[in-house]
Amino acid sequence: MQTVDSNLDNLSSASDIIDALQNILRSQAFMPDLDTPYSRPSVQNIDHPTIDSELNSKISAIPIDERQQQLDTVLCNISGLETVMNGIKIFHQQLVERKEKIIQSMTVHKGLEPAIWRLPTEVLSHIFHCCLPEDRYLSPASNLAPMLLTRICRPWRDVAVDMPSLWCRLHVKIDIGQEENEETLIAWQRATFFYDSWLKRSRGYPLSLVLERYLSTRLLRSLLQPYSNQISFLSIKFSRRAGQLELLLKNVPALRELVILGMNSFDIRYVAKSISQLPSTMRVLEIMDSPFDVMDSPFDALHIYSLNPVWAHLTQVKITLLHASAFLHLLRLCPNLSSLTVVAAFFHQRALVLFTHTNIQSLILIDCNNLGMMPNPLGDLFDALSLPNLRVLEARCSYHSPWPHEQLRDLFARSKCPLERLIFSNCMLEMDVPRAEYVALIPSLDVVVNV
């Protein structure tokens, strides 16, 4: 028969002990019947029994030895069980003490837990926004937000993935070569799966996208097509001919800002045609090249006119121009323009008619005329302008171009504008700037010279 001690040997946990004891109790539930006809009291005097030989023979047949063995076993089990019960009482007390210590430890550590782990989702969301890089677009990187935020812990990942505003800026740059073969297509599918997963998390929010390197315009269009209604800002740096630009600018009804970089003189007509089809939501347009390339890809008056449907809605423009007449055409077509940056290399000057633009508040002129013309062609432009709402003018010019200070002073006097800042950069020594003349004309003017 299995004893209590043998049932409790090598038990490693409280649950094992409890299970073993329950098994012992179940095994002891059956108690054999030990009574016989001779174990019950009778009318005979038990102190002086009268037993005949037949009765004596029957009693001697009763298994007394078996009863003694059963008694010894029960006594052993009682002793063992008492030992176990004392041990269980001690173990129970230890478990109670351990419980109290665990509760105390939990209470202490909850108090020491960093406050950031207990922040509400709304507060944590605000912190996540502050973790984002300041770039207008985001290059996916595992060590930068928002990707980094998904790798800290599961609660942070859940919060970050559920914040569409974290996934609304994206820089698409896929370096897999330029030929469409099996290898590059597999690499493209792998890359676009990642970008598509990113864009899905934006969940309808306005998107800011930069497109720099990609296998083909057709494949890129297939990636962006499900999100075309969300695109609000789009910057395109050509790695392909601009003739395919129309595919990227097709059906972007929410587009407000467009930046086009890297075009050449052969691309201008395609760019102009594509832009002319943009929606009335457009407010900001940037078509600029490096000053060193200005002679290769300027917009002339013809191209300016071809964008006619778009100009009326624009409020900010950055553009490269080769003719002062194109500058004036641009102002006529953009009545709502408030900010204008022009990379200018004016020559072949024509007679200009005075034009007044009432909404321009900020004007940046980057003069790239390195021909050393006397006088500077910008002087004729200043003579043809009146800007009554101008507040900031910044002039950046080459070292070879004498700046037309007199014509600029006359522009201010004619415009009677509330000019606040006048900034000269790159080329002019302080002694070359008639600061006193400008301040005499507008006493509150802040004249800044950056040599």
Task: Give residue-wise pLDDT tens across range 396-411.
Answer: 876 556 678 888 999 9
Angle at Cα 388 formed by Cα 424 and Cα 313, nearest 5°? 95
> What confidence tens digit (pLDDT) does each residue in 204-250 have?
999 999 988 776 778 888 889 999 999 999 998 865 555 567 778 88
Domain assignment present for 238: no
pLDDT on residue 36: 60
Domain assignment present for 413: yes
- The kind and range of the H/E element at 271 are helix 268-275
Domain assignment present for 410: yes
Domain count, the chain: 2
Q: How far is CA 211 from CA 170, 221, 350, in A?
A: 9, 11, 39
Domain final residue pick, 60, 86, 113 = 113
**Is residue 270 a contact partner of residue 243, using CB atoms and an 8 Å limit?**
yes
The reported pTM is 0.69
What is d(CA 267, CA 290) in angstroms, rounded to the nearest whole number? 15
Q: Which has the higher per-residue pLDDT, 392 or 346?
A: 392
Domain final residue pick, 56, 86, 113 = 113
What is d(CA 364, CA 320) in angstroms, rounded to the nearest whole number? 12
Domain assignment present for 181: no
Domain assignment present for 364: yes
Domain final residue pick, 92, 113, 134 = 113
Region 164-188: mean pLDDT is 81
- The kind and range of the H/E element at 89 are helix 64-112
Tokens 């200043």 appear where? Answer: 382
Task: Supply the range of the domain harboring residue 14.
Answer: 1-29+78-113
Domain assignment present for 345: yes
Domain assignment present for 102: yes
> What confidence tens digit (pLDDT) does each residue in 120-151 have?
888 888 999 999 988 777 878 888 899 999 98
Domain assignment present for 140: no
